[in-house]
Amino acid sequence: MINGMIVDKSYQAVTGRMGEIINKAMGVDYSKYERDGIVFDYEALMNDTGYTLEDHIRIQREHNVGNTPIFELKNLTALARKYAAPGKGARIFVKDEASNPAGSFKERRAAASVYHAKKMGYKGVIAATSGNYGAAVASQAAMQGLKCIIVQECYDSKASGQPEIIEKARKCEALGAEVLQLSVGPELFYEVLMMLEETGYFNASLYSAFGIGGVETLGWELGHQFMERYGKHPDVVVCANAGGGNLTGTARGLIKAGCPAQVVAASVDLKGLSMASDKQFNRKSFTTAHTGFGVPYATDPDHSDVPRSAARPLRYMDRYVTVKQGEVFYITEALATLEGMEKGPAGNTSLAAAFSLAQEMDQDQIIVAQETEYTGAGKHIQPQLAFARQNGIELLFGDPETEIPGTNIVFPANPGLLKARDADLDHMRASLIRRQASHAAGPITDADVAYLVEETKSNEAFVRKVLETL
């Protein structure tokens, strides 16, 4: 019963009311951005938040977020150069987002969403996340005086939870949030929709325009920090990629800073594992920044808790690479022992890729791993590897090319075996084009084609060639 009225709480009924629920929970009517055919006015959605880049910077500074430092990783750079050809081995930098209050870049998203919720008169915020975003929302809600509920996909059917996820729940609760922990399956967004309807709280979605606008400050800072300190822009910025908001926001911020850096997406290779499988859920050691999220959210960004996601990474990525689980654990240890920085490990996905990509680049070039995240308790390497062993995963040293997700984790026998592997970006672009074209009510128009060019950062010839295969 809601407001004295009996409502249908079946899965089909609740998800069928998604547009109405989200409208009330965010004050955003997503239908106004739909155009004829399959066209969706993305820039109108982003511009209608009412917040400029300068507003986001001000809001974040008021709540101790952002303005994070950049560090040159001189020892890792020297190590990479040992395995590079003569004259190769770019300077490797990292932007230390772990210095945000809750320990990750996602506090940039949270600061914007919680600020807007308070401004609009909501009493609390709700977020669906198994990761760092929950802690970020909880931290900002505490600062800004709002109640907070975090809905977390945590356990398999045996009530066994990954130590990293359980640690994040602990942090959310420590910051004053109520945490609802669910088993793996399709009920996550269903439960969120029901709670939004029942509580009247704000939907602090990972995929809202408010949150993605908040991440733009990260890219903007990167562009300006390098120009102020080194008199040049970075050549490559590597973004850990899962739901796409990290890359989307950072790339938009780089553009606003006038920075022409190549934007590379990096994900941990979990090919063959289903994120919605009860049996496979605990056979992975990374809960974010992996292909189980990165690929489906790139090719179908709108399967989230809002009708239209503001995280649309294919619009901005120039290259997509994958690294292995063992390689990310390895670079996490290397960062600690060579540079004195204990971070991650999931946040070091971009660093693992950057270590390899630096060896392709000239020594006077700059590559940036665009974020770090806090570590500790269940997020540390040791409990994650112990949990992997408990689930029958074999831990080996050798060639990471032999790693099979869900079967083993292979740490590189030496740093030269750590490699970034290119994903087929055109295949992903074609998948998005086919998927969106399948929703067309009539013939594909020139306006539809122009929209798909923007969605995939491609060209008209490529889009029309894919459409011919339908």
Tell me: pLDDT of 294 over 80. Answer: yes
Cis peptide before 86 (omega within 30 of 0): no
409 and 320 together in one domain: yes
Query: Which residue type is seen at 289?
Result: A
Total structural domains within the chain: 2
Candidates 104, 105, 95, 108; CA nearest to 366 is 95
Cα angle 41-47-49, degrees, rounded to a multiple of 5 = 115
Tell me: pLDDT of 1 over 80. Answer: no
Using CA atoms, how far apart are residues 369 and 198, in angstroms rounded to an integer?
41
Given this model, what pLDDT does residue 347 score?
87
Residues 220, 53 contacting (CB under 8 angstroms): yes
Range of the domain at 289: 63-103+212-422
- 356 phi/psi in degrees, rounded to 5: -75, -45
Mean pLDDT of the region 273-278? 80
Q: What percent of the chain is modeled with pLDDT above 90?
A: 79
Eight-class DSSP state of 202: E
320 and 225 together in one domain: yes
- Report if residue 39 sits inside a domain: no
DSSP string, 290-343: BHHHHHHHHH-TT-SSSSS-S--GGGT-SEEEEE-HHHHHHHHHHHHHHHS---
373 and 456 together in one domain: no
255 and 368 together in one domain: yes
- Report if residue 428 sits inside a domain: no
357 and 455 together in one domain: no
449 and 366 together in one domain: no
- Report if residue 198 sits inside a domain: no
Eight-class DSSP state of 6: -
Q: What percent of the chain is modeled with pLDDT above 70?
A: 99
Residue range 149-208, pLDDT digits in tens: 999 988 888 888 888 889 989 999 999 999 999 887 767 888 889 999 999 999 999 999
278 and 336 together in one domain: yes
Higher pLDDT, 39 or 18: 39
- Report if residue 362 sits inside a domain: yes
- Report if residue 76 sits inside a domain: yes
CA 327 to chain CA mean position, Å:
19
Residue range 87-118, pLDDT digits in tens: 999 999 999 999 999 999 999 999 999 999 99
448 and 410 together in one domain: no
Candidates 366, 356, 287; CA nearest to 321 is 356
Work out the pLDDT band at 219, boundaries 50, 70, 90: very high
- pTM, whole model, 2 decimals? 0.95
Average the pLDDT over each of 4-8, 17-21, 367-371, 443-447 and give the range with the smallest value.
Answer: 4-8
Query: Which residue type is seen at 45?
Result: L
Cβ-proximal residues to 8 (8 Å cutoff; 6+ apart), any chain: 14
Q: How many CB atoms lie within 10 A of CB 168?
A: 31
The SS3 assignment for 62 reads helix
Using CA atoms, how far apart are residues 348 and 333, in angstroms rounded to an integer?
10
Average pLDDT over the chain, rounded to whole? 94
- Report if residue 96 sits inside a domain: yes
CA distances from 106 to 42, 337, 342 (A): 21, 26, 19
Residue range 340-385, pLDDT digits in tens: 999 988 889 999 999 999 999 999 999 999 999 999 888 889 999 9
Cβ-proximal residues to 337 (8 Å cutoff; 6+ apart), any chain: none
259 and 307 together in one domain: yes
- 358 phi/psi in degrees, rounded to 5: -60, -30
446 and 376 together in one domain: no
Residue range 230-249, pLDDT digits in tens: 999 999 999 999 999 999 99
Given this model, what pLDDT does residue 2 score?
61
Cα angle 87-90-96, degrees, rounded to a multiple of 5 = 165
408 and 446 together in one domain: no
343 and 273 together in one domain: yes
Residue range 304-326, pLDDT digits in tens: 888 899 999 999 999 999 999 99
CA 252 to chain CA mean position, Å:
14
Residues 248, 315 contacting (CB under 8 angstroms): yes
- Report if residue 44 sits inside a domain: no
> Strand 91-95 and strand 70-72: pairing?
antiparallel
Q: How many CB atoms lie within 10 A of CB 141?
A: 28
Tell me: pLDDT of 287 over 60. Answer: yes
Eight-class DSSP state of 342: -
- Report if residue 403 sits inside a domain: yes
Query: Which residue type is seen at 375?
Result: T
* CATH number, domain with residue 99: 3.40.50.1100
Cβ-proximal residues to 275 (8 Å cutoff; 6+ apart), any chain: 184, 281, 292, 293
